[in-house]
Amino acid sequence: MIHRESNQLIIGPYFIRADGTVRACDVKNKLIGRMTAVARHLTDPANRVYFYDMEGAVYEVNVHTLDVKRLFEKPVAGWHGKGGYTAQGRLVIANNGESAAIKKKYNYLAGEDAKDPEDAGILAEWDGTTWRVIERRQFTDVTGPGGIGGAPDDAAPLWAMGWDKRSVILKLLDGGQWSTFRVPKGSYTFDPKHGWFTEWPRIREVTGGRWLMVMHGQMFDFPPTFSRGNTAGLRPICTHLRYIPDFCAWGDKLVLAADDTSVMQNPLAGTSQSNLQFTKLDALKTFGPATGWGGVWLNDAVKADTPSDPFLLAGYPCRVLHLAHHNAGPVVFTVELDKKGDGHWSEWKKIEVPAKGYVFEIFPPDLKAEWVRLRPNRDVVVSAFFHMSAPRASEPGEDAMFKSLAADGWREMTIRPDDKGNLQVLAGPDAYEVDERLQFRPTEPDRLLAARTAAAPTVKTETDAASLVLTDARGNRWRLPKSGAVMFDDATRYRTLREVQSERYLANWHGTFYEVPRTLELRQIKPIATHRRAISDFCTWRGLMVLAGNVAGAGDGHCFASANGQCALWFGAVDDLWRLGKPVGQGGPWAGTAVKAGKPSDPYLMTGFDRKSVALSHDGTESVNFTIEVDVHLHGWYKYQTIAVSPGQTVMHRFPEGYNAHWVRVTADRDCAATAIFQYE
């Protein structure tokens, strides 16, 4: 925070004057805890500020004397304190978890311990007298158009970000009234209820009046004018792999902080690894494609004629709405648009969903509107979920930076950051250490025993005639496309899974990189890029993405080798991986597989791929009906379509442009040997 009256920068417990003098609060005896927010004072802003601690305490500090007074030990429920900000006569604080850091019973002044399965985290406000819960959900940043300077006046709006099982939540406080908006998630890796895996989504000005919002794996242009009657301008820029705890402008650069490899339950790293990335604002569009998913309702009971929260529509040319309900009769949903972000809603169309049915609606790419909302014509238990995407802004020849990575010819290599800042490399029988100057030094293999024997996280993988098969800890099977190269069938020849960004995994499965939650909840994975290269290991080290395998000097500017030329590695940034090529592949749940009537296939991944089709056939002597079902929100299956296939016939079905779901599966209505192969181009 910049305290404008005293002209001091406050960062952590430190107060820094304009002349460079640094003073610190007494953190051993008075300002105790892990401070996560500093906010302007409600009644004496010229002389005092509030501090908010990750464990929940609220302090008051005199900016001149640094005297500290604890106002509240823990006033509200929830854990893992995050943002705090003062606006419109109230202090607003957020936390994003439900896993207690301290085993103690507290007498909360607002909220209570979780009673509902969805209770996690909190957004709460204090007017100087009374604490009040705004929402019992997981929230992170709280800020406003004054940014780190605090609210410019008492009328300035306040923004807060959070999430629930449906989507990202964007809260607006304006004119003393709270409003809720919903935005797609770009990743499921941030979702756990303990809140530890969100360090630290923010809304922040970066340069020249331009603001960014970073949340759940997506970056957005955020309009600093966001207020009641003026909510236009929020636009997705990209998805990203980098775990970004903070960001700012520095000169003409955008600086991205990071939480790369950690040592938490990770023997593949001798010490934690992170660094700053200096890039350009315009370079963000070359990160991952702006894709995401989220909903306004997820098996929720909704009253007739009650409008949903607004959901972001602008900025995504490919948009599909999935609607499903449990009522015994049909339900009509009115789709309404806020075309200008001025709060004026107009009807776009009505969609009738049959009894206990499912329908999807693809929005035309040329339909212009900021927000969309839905309204049912009767009481209903309903899910309304969107999948949104925009093509990545690829550059011609961008994969030339990977020219040194061969597409065939395995070379056994293992890499591991050690506990002294070096990178350990085992290349067959030879061993090397790489220092901060990217100089390779031969060493004795025995010294690198930890690199060879460190236990890595594992997921059981196998390849059959149809696809790649993953089996999770509960014995559930999940299928992924093959990349088209048989060299990847034997997954023992290369590293398939490790942490490269803190608290989530990167997987290298059959020539495609995937993002995988730390929980190894395989239903939540998404593809990153299909590379089809002989990559035997990978890691992050000193802020760099490192790829090992069949690497040879090829003038791509990213290959560095030992003096004898016998060992080489590729170095770059983690979000360079998107440049390897969009996810593609072929496979499915069945390839001449003996199937039983009415028994669904294994789930097969659909999200993150475009230009999708499926070929269906069987060996029966009678027509077989293949029912295709989709899981769009990881909470159940919906019937997409039933396709009749005659004996000896192969039926090709192409999914509509813009259609997407997370998983797909197939069921046949007769015993037969069936084939269902999906092509993702």
Question: Is there a domain that residue 201 lies in?
Answer: no
Which of these, 179, 178, 164, 169, lies nearest to 213 by C-alpha position? 169
Do 313 and 372 contact (CB within 8 A), yes or no?
A: yes
Query: Residue 412's pLDDT is what?
Result: 86
Q: Give Cβ neighbours of residue 658 (< 8 Å, ≥ 6 apart).
A: 318, 319, 320, 362, 363, 365
Cα–Cα separations (whole angstroms), residue 558 to 67, 391, 568: 52, 26, 10
User: What percent of the chain stands above pLDDT 90?
Assistant: 88
Averaged over 57-64, what is the pLDDT?
A: 98
Helix, strand, coil share of the chain (percent; to 5): 5, 45, 45
Q: Residue 99: pLDDT band by 50, 70, 90 thresholds? A: confident
- Give the number of other Cβ atoms within 10 Å of residue 458's Cβ: 9
Which DSSP letter does residue 285 get? G
Query: Residue 453's pLDDT is what?
Result: 65
Give the least confident one: 173-177, 445-449, 587-591. Answer: 445-449
pLDDT tens digits, one per residue of 486-543: 999 998 889 999 999 999 999 999 999 999 999 999 999 999 999 999 999 999 999 9
Verify that 513 and 637 share a domain, yes or no.
no
Question: Is there a domain that residue 256 lies in?
Answer: no
Averaged over 257-280, what is the pLDDT?
A: 91
- Give the number of other Cβ atoms within 10 Å of residue 74's Cβ: 20
Give the least confident one: 68-72, 307-311, 394-398. Answer: 394-398
User: What global pTM score does this model have?
Assistant: 0.96
Query: Residue 471's pLDDT is what?
Result: 97
Verify that 469 and 557 share a domain, yes or no.
yes
Give the least confident one: 179-183, 296-300, 361-365, 441-445. Answer: 441-445
Do 495 and 536 contact (CB within 8 A), yes or no?
A: yes
Number of domains in the chain: 3
Q: Give Cβ neighbours of residue 92 (< 8 Å, ≥ 6 apart).
A: 84, 85, 86, 123, 124, 125, 134, 142, 158, 160, 173
Secondary structure element (H or E) that encloses residue 580, with its range? none
- Distance CA(296)–CA(309), nearest Å, equals 6
Q: CATH number, domain at 642?
A: 2.60.290.11
Verify that 298 and 363 share a domain, yes or no.
yes
Q: Residue 132: pLDDT band by 50, 70, 90 thresholds? A: very high
Question: Is there a domain that residue 487 lies in?
Answer: yes
- Distance CA(10)–CA(29), nearest Å, equals 19
Indicate the residue among 530, 564, 580 that finishes a domain.
580
**Unique residue bearing structure tokens 């409600």:** 42
Sort strands 651-654 and 79-87 into parallel, antiparallel or unpaired. unpaired
Q: Provide the mean pLDDT of the chain.
A: 95
Averaged over 437-458, what is the pLDDT?
A: 81
Verify that 473 and 448 share a domain, yes or no.
yes
Verify that 307 and 419 share a domain, yes or no.
no
3-state DSSP assignment of residue 575: helix
Q: Residue 308: pLDDT band by 50, 70, 90 thresholds? A: very high
Sign of the C-alpha dihedral computed for residues 134, 139, 143 and 145 taken in this order: negative
Indicate the residue among 365, 389, 413 that finishes a domain.
389
Q: Specify the amino acid at residue 589.
A: P
Cα–Cα separations (whole angstroms), residue 326 to 332, 383, 496, 569, 591: 13, 9, 41, 55, 34
- Distance CA(600)–CA(308), nearest Å, equals 33
Query: Residue 529's pLDDT is what?
Result: 97
Q: Give Cβ neighbours of residue 344 (< 8 Å, ≥ 6 apart).
A: 338
Sign of the C-alpha dihedral computed for residues 544, 545, 549 and 550 taken in this order: negative
Indicate the residue among 525, 559, 580 that finishes a domain.
580
Verify that 520 and 443 share a domain, yes or no.
yes
User: What percent of the chain stands above pLDDT 70?
Assistant: 99
* Alpha-helix residue ranges (DSSP H) falling in 343-461: 449-453
Q: Cα-Cα-Cα-Cα dihedral of 571, 575, 578, 579, to 10°?
A: -50
Question: Is there a domain that residue 471 lies in?
Answer: yes
Averaged over 189-196, what is the pLDDT?
A: 90
Verify that 572 and 628 share a domain, yes or no.
no
Verify that 604 and 471 share a domain, yes or no.
no
Sort strands 568-572 and 544-549 into parallel, antiparallel or unpaired. antiparallel
Question: Is there a domain that residue 14 lies in?
Answer: no
Verify that 320 and 338 share a domain, yes or no.
yes
Averaged over 145-163, what is the pLDDT?
A: 96
Q: Is the pLDDT of residue 238 over 90?
A: yes
Question: Is there a domain that residue 496 lies in?
Answer: yes
Question: Is there a domain that residue 340 lies in?
Answer: yes
Give the least confident one: 90-94, 288-292, 424-428, 656-660. Answer: 424-428
Q: CATH number, domain at 324?
A: 2.60.120.230
Question: Is there a domain that residue 465 lies in?
Answer: yes
Query: Residue 450's pLDDT is what?
Result: 67
Q: Residue 451: pLDDT band by 50, 70, 90 thresholds? A: low
- Secondary structure E strands in 410-493: 413-417, 423-427, 430-434, 440-443, 460-463, 468-471, 477-480
Verify that 469 and 551 share a domain, yes or no.
yes
Q: Cα-Cα-Cα-Cα dihedral of 99, 104, 110, 116, to 10°?
A: 40
Domain span at 367: 292-389
**Separation of CA 216 from chain center:** 4
Sign of the C-alpha dihedral computed for residues 280, 286, 287 and 291 taken in this order: positive
Q: Specify the amino acid at residue 362.
A: I
Query: Residue 452's pLDDT is what?
Result: 66
- Distance CA(496)–CA(507), nearest Å, equals 5
Q: Is 531 exposed, middle or buried (0-12, 13-18, 19+ CB in 10 A)?
A: buried
- Distance CA(258)–CA(108), nearest Å, equals 34
Which of these, 218, 233, 317, 123, lies nearest to 515 by C-alpha position? 218
**Unique residue bearing structure tokens 């011609």:** 396
Verify that 349 and 439 share a domain, yes or no.
no
Do 54 and 81 contact (CB within 8 A), yes or no?
A: yes
Verify that 573 and 602 share a domain, yes or no.
no
Phi and psi at 490, nearest 5°, equal -95, 95
Do 79 and 195 contact (CB within 8 A), yes or no?
A: yes
- Give the number of other Cβ atoms within 10 Å of residue 562's Cβ: 18
Query: Residue 146's pLDDT is what?
Result: 96
Phi and psi at 144, nearest 5°, equal -160, -175
- Distance CA(632)–CA(623), nearest Å, equals 29
- Distance CA(86)–CA(66), nearest Å, equals 20
Q: Is the pLDDT of residue 561 over 90?
A: yes
